[in-house]
Amino acid sequence: MKKIEHLGIAVTDLQASIGMFEKLLNTTCYKMEEVISEGVRTAFFQVGASKIELLEATNPDSPIAKFLAKQGGGIHHIAFEVDDIVSEIKRLQALDFILIHESPKDGADNKQIAFLHPKSTNGVLVELCQEKN
């Protein structure tokens, strides 16, 4: 793994959260995007070499809606940048990590992504991400 690519934060009101994070981080949101397959609307902030991703549910059955109903807003996941997501998935499967996605899928911010189940990572939802070519 190369670096922490971003921290994902679940929010109930994306617009209000963007305003608060712009003030907090003293920078502007550089990108907003909807990922229909995940039922989520995202907003990104660059913070040094890493990013903050705000996540708002777009439907009540989405993973973010379920997280918000159970946990409330807050840190949802940590994402690690990898050079070869397919190889990294295979490596982690061989080490008995439980994967939510056994093959990469399209995510936000021009990334291919795959998630590891928190049951195998001490309760932390881990995302692997690789820049699309």
Cα–Cα–Cα angle for 68, 74, 78, nearest 5°?
Answer: 110
pLDDT given at position 7: 98
pLDDT given at position 1: 86
Tokens linked to 10 = 């679940």
The DSSP letter of residue 37 is G
- Taking the chain (133 residues) in runs of 10, the rounded mean pLDDT of each run is 95 98 97 95 96 97 95 96 97 96 94 96 96 90
pLDDT given at position 11: 98
Distance of CA 59 to the CA centre of its chain: 17
pTM over 0.95: no
pLDDT tens column, 83-110? 999 999 999 999 999 999 999 999 999 9
